[in-house]
Structure 1
Amino acid sequence: MEESLQRYSRQILFQPIGLEGQKKLSNSKVVIVGMGALGTVIASHLVRSGVGYVRMIDRDLVELSNLQRQTLYDEEDAVKGLPKVVAAEKKLKNINLSVTIEAIISDVNLDNAEDLLTGFDVILDGTDNFQSRYLINDVAVKHNIPWVHGAAVSSRGMFSVIIPGKTPCYRCLFPTVPTGLGETCDTVGVLSPLTDIIGSFQAMEAIKLLVGAEPTKNLEQLDIWYNSSMQMDVTHGRSLECPTCGKGHFDFLDRASNKQVSYTTLCGRDTVQINPKNKQEINMKEQAERLKKIGKVTGNPYLLRFSPGNNITLVLFKDGRVLVHGTDDTVKAKSIYAKYIGL
């Protein structure tokens, strides 16, 4: 106990946490979905703060391009191509051996989400795509687990705290799943200080929840390049018509739902087909201009062929369907799809 008092002394001196709050943190369990830029910041803060049990889930490997903003990784991790959670676990255990750290190499999807995300006091969003966030929201609302949403792209970021039964859920705040090709870190970039800021706010809100303090009631938004911020009070944003928290329909956990995205390996072609059930009309000219900034684009009125490198080619069709050439691994294809398509 004396060692703990010394390690967390500056945190215990902060009156809203104190010794009792520190004890609550040590008895708490959190799960972080995604160990990229946000996830690494969140994990570092929570482990250093003495949260007793931290589960980290991620499907990707460390790459050189991650090092600009993913603060737990180094060049050796990238050269070895280590899974992110493996590299993170090693670093975090060197920081605080008193915390139980669980590293899971997995893609969180509708088949495993409930097994991976339940039994925790707080879920933290370190993901980079809307599909994963709606899935987390379904699990959180269904099992009454608070979660902290965060997002960062370019110079803009946001975060919010979602407490089932008390606050609007993610689907209340964003009722319609975005369609078309969205901005991602891989298409418009992201600033390292931004991910540090948003991840730190997420960790702080999680700590508030764990010690029984009042989290923010706002959807917080900021732009660090233009020094602007906005607080949107969402206290009264719950909707009785929300399919998730209002009507109890968990579409992102339902394989039959039209909200699902289908991933199919095409036999013998080293290709994965990705097919949103909700068809959509893609503006091919706009998307060609966007993708030309980061890779080679060719095409015709019916499709675009985009090559970002690494022997991977994406073929985009007007109805939103995508072929990922160069792999038969659906998890890898899903990661590539999230990077460049952004759904």
Structure 2
Amino acid sequence: MHPRYRKQALFAPLGERGQDRLSAAKVVVVGCGALGTVLAQTLVRAGVGFVRIVDRDFVDLSNLQRQVLFDELDVAERLPKVIAAEKKLKAINSLVTVEPHVADVTFQNVRQLVADCDLILDGTDNFEIRYLLNDVSLETGIPWINGGCVGAHGQVMPIFPGKSPCLRCLMPEMPEPGSTETCDTAGVLGAAVQVIASLQTVEAIKILSGQPDLVEPALTIVDVWDGTWRRMKLNGDDLRQHCPACTGGERLWLQGRRGAQSVILCGRNSVQISPDTPTRQTLDELEARLSQTGHVRKTPFLLIYRPEGTESELTLFSDGRAIVTGTSDPAQARTLYAQYVGL
């Protein structure tokens, strides 16, 4: 055991054996925003041997209030979140392997992203990806830890496929748009994010150190503003027998039968557009074409395009995705994408 972990290994429930297991473990953190950056940092500091981080977005000034791995230089450089995070994480612990993926998690790539991992950690901010993670967890047998945070409150729920209730046991269908709070409507406290992600990390350490029996099937809800804490134990058999995914075998999100091509990004006045098929145009080709109709700036990871005469901005990625900034209307975002890039 490396001496940097000595204080952690002195914690009796973990010990040197548990620390060694952490060093051999592999996790994937889906989403590198508020929850995801705290998750990635605490796991890397704890000595989890392999941490894959996946995110589709770049660093924005509005992220810095709660996303702990980023700074103003990352904003100025328009770095993809996972690239900025990788640099910081490697500086924190060079013994750990950090594998960044600048990608949107979809039904086409999610199996590949989780296939060789022991645990999936939810650092996302939308229900579509959570339902997709639930599907791939049930399909592969890889456990996952759901987490969410808005305002001053959040929740954590560990999910063991075939043993504990899954996301659809509690919510068979996704909430209707506008029916739940978001950081756009309720805001979010950075302190609340830290608490929720820390609870996820503790459950992850139990699992990765070979002690999954210590993780209780329960939904934990915390409000840091009110100082309240609720823990609801979940009866797996009662919930699972009526679940369309656990008992019925449905994998609607994993099969691509559910999901949208446009996603409103929380707190950003931005919409992500994903084409049906990946683009064949390179960023260099897009730069040459789009520079005739607006201002273009290209980095090694993306291309930023501001059309002449508009207040909107398109950030284009090599896989054909675009984040359209200046609108929260998916229809308008798709119109701009079609007009300048093509659908």
| Cα drift, residue 90 of structure 1 | 0.2
What's the TM-score once normalised by structure 2's chain length?
Answer: 0.77
CA gap of 1:314–1:98, structure 2 versus 1, over 3 A, is closer
| Cα drift, residue 128 of structure 1 | 0.3
Q: State the one-letter code of the partner of 2:239.
A: R
CA distance, structure 1, for counterparts of residue 19 and residue 273 of structure 2:
48
For residue 182 of structure 2, the aligned residue among 181, 184, 198 is 184
CA gap of 1:326–1:183, structure 2 versus 1, over 3 A, is farther
| Secondary structure of 1:110 counterpart | coil
| Secondary structure of 2:193 counterpart | helix
Aligned partners of 1:271 and 1:327 also within 8 Å: no
1:1-343 to 2 correspondence within 5 Å?
A: 1=1, 4=2, 6-181=3-178, 182-213=180-211, 214-236=214-236, 237-255=238-256, 257=257, 259-263=258-262, 312-315=326-329, 322-324=331-333, 327-328=336-337
> For 1:168-215, what per-residue CA distance to the aligned partner results, in whole angstroms no more than 9, with x for missing partners?
011112112111223211332100000001011111111111112211
Deviates more, 1:123-132 or 1:222-231: 222-231
CA distance, structure 1, for counterparts of residue 274 and residue 48 of structure 2:
41
| Cα drift, residue 29 of structure 1 | 0.2
CA distance, structure 2, for counterparts of residue 94 and residue 116 of structure 1:
24
Aligned partners of 1:273 and 1:323 also within 8 Å: no
Counterpart for residue 289 of structure 2: none
Aligned partners of 2:261 and 2:273 also within 8 Å: no
Aligned partners of 1:273 and 1:324 also within 8 Å: no
Counterpart for residue 282 of structure 2: none
What's the TM-score once normalised by structure 1's chain length?
Answer: 0.77
| Secondary structure of 1:252 counterpart | coil
Q: State the one-letter code of the partner of 2:18.
A: G
Aligned partners of 1:32 and 1:123 also within 8 Å: yes
CA distance, structure 1, for counterparts of residue 240 and residue 205 of structure 2:
27
CA gap of 1:218–1:309, structure 2 versus 1, over 3 A, is farther
> For 1:269-310, what per-residue CA distance to the aligned partner results, in whole angstroms no more than 9, with x for missing partners?
x99699xxxxxxxxxxxxxxxxxxxxxxxxxxxxxxxxx976
**Structural RMSD (CA):** 2.4
| Secondary structure of 1:226 counterpart | coil
> For 1:248-281, what per-residue CA distance to the aligned partner results, in whole angstroms no more than 9, with x for missing partners?
11110123x3x332459xxxxx99699xxxxxxx
Q: State the one-letter code of the partner of 1:121.
A: D
Aligned partners of 1:313 and 1:326 also within 8 Å: no
CA distance, structure 1, for counterparts of residue 203 and residue 332 of structure 2:
39
Percent sequence identity is 45
Aligned partners of 1:205 and 1:216 also within 8 Å: no
May I ask how many residue pairs the two structures share in their alignment? 282
| Secondary structure of 2:327 counterpart | strand
| Cα drift, residue 40 of structure 1 | 0.5
Q: State the one-letter code of the partner of 2:337.
A: D
CA gap of 1:176–1:10, structure 2 versus 1, over 3 A, is same
Unpaired runs of 5+ residues, structure 1, are 265-269, 275-307, 317-321, 330-343
Aligned partners of 2:165 and 2:217 also within 8 Å: no
CA gap of 1:120–1:273, structure 2 versus 1, over 3 A, is closer
